[in-house]
Amino acid sequence: MVYVVQRALEKAKAEVSDVDLLVTHQPVAWAGEAWRRAIGVPPERFYETYEAYGNIATCAAATNLLEALEADRVKAGDLLLIASSGAGENHIAVLERASPQLIQSCRGA
């Protein structure tokens, strides 16, 4: 996970300190927190829903992002890091800037 996140940050010419919010897949209770620490994202910039939903497979990262948006944890312009593991220990990482349209669509404006 750390390797793919570092590569994504390099390609975006960004640093971990630029990340405003990290959301991940949540295959087991400890994974998201372990990845957060390994990547170096502070706890206040991490959002997960494992306690509420457990392992909800491929929709976990998207669910975490949606709930973070609904909880006003994201502002327009924030750099979002979406990271996930998959079968065979493959990993992905995506960086995205939160657009005003994304924020509005999740807040019903």
Name every residue whose Cβ is closer than 8 Å to that of residue 31 and which is 6 or more positions away in sequence.
Answer: 24, 25, 85
From 18, 11, 38, select the one nearest 81 (Cα to Cα).
18
How far is Cα 100 from Cα 44, in angstroms, rounded to an integer? Answer: 22
User: In which domain, by residue range, is 29 found?
Assistant: 2-107
Segment 6-13 shows an average pLDDT of 97
**Count of the separate structural domains present in the chain:** 1
Residue 21 sits in a domain whose CATH number is: 3.40.47.10
Q: Which has the minimum average pLDDT: 66-70, 76-80, 86-90?
A: 86-90
- At 50, the pLDDT band (50, 70, 90 cuts) reads very high
